[in-house]
Amino acid sequence: MSFQPRSTRRPSGRGSNRRPSGRKQRFDVSCSNCNTATVVPFRPKPGRPVYCRPCFDNLRNGRSAGKEEAVNDLPAPNRPTAGQDAGGAKAFPGMRMSPATRAAIAAMGIAEPTPIQERCIPQLLEGRDVIGQARTGSGKTLAFAVPMVECCDPSIRKVQALVLVPTRELAIQVAS
């Protein structure tokens, strides 16, 4: 019996347009922070900042990345002076949460928690299980999302939380 090599012709049909698996596609971009030309191994999304390695490392380590400009046409954040109070500090007073979460809540125009939020957020922050029931539009999504975000570590670049919803419509609502 003799050895017969397989055809060297590319297969037709599904998967025939794929690149060789050992070669990753690279994209030329400009760093959103310092405008340096850089190459990234992912397709940049419109409206999302892309950083060169030094700027990315600085941002990840909590250091200033150098340039303090608005990125992607967003206004630069207003930093309070010595006599001013940060707007986020007034959001959800009396609840234990990070300044970043408070600022995000304040940016949504929310200053006071709804009754479901007031009762659920402290319990969930303490690690307790909660079954909450409230009317549509009462802020249930924020009631579970705030404690979930507070428990996540932004330095860990892996999935840390999962939200399961029963319908596509609810998934769209929760995602927005």
pLDDT value of position 18: 60
CATH architecture of 87-175: 3-Layer(aba) Sandwich (3.40)
Q: Residue 40 in contact with residue 25, Cβ under 8 Å?
A: no
Which residues belong to CATH 3.40.50.300 in the chain? 87-175
DSSP 28: E
pLDDT value of position 126: 92
Q: Report H helices in 108-161.
A: 115-125, 140-151
pLDDT value of position 44: 84
Q: Residue 85 in contact with residue 106, Cβ under 8 Å?
A: no
Amino acid identity for residue 134 in this structure: A
pLDDT value of position 114: 94
pTM of the model: 0.48
d(CA 119, CA 132): 9
pLDDT value of position 24: 74
Residues 124, 127, 128, 131, CA torsion sign: positive
pLDDT value of position 16: 56
d(CA 88, CA 130): 26
Taking 70 as the pLDDT cut, the residues of the chain under it are 1-23, 63-89
Q: Tokens for 107?
A: 């940016």
pLDDT tens digits along 29-57: 888 888 888 888 888 888 788 888 888 88
pLDDT value of position 21: 60
pLDDT tens digits along 19-29: 556 667 888 88
DSSP 51: -
Q: Residue 18 in contact with residue 56, Cβ under 8 Å?
A: no
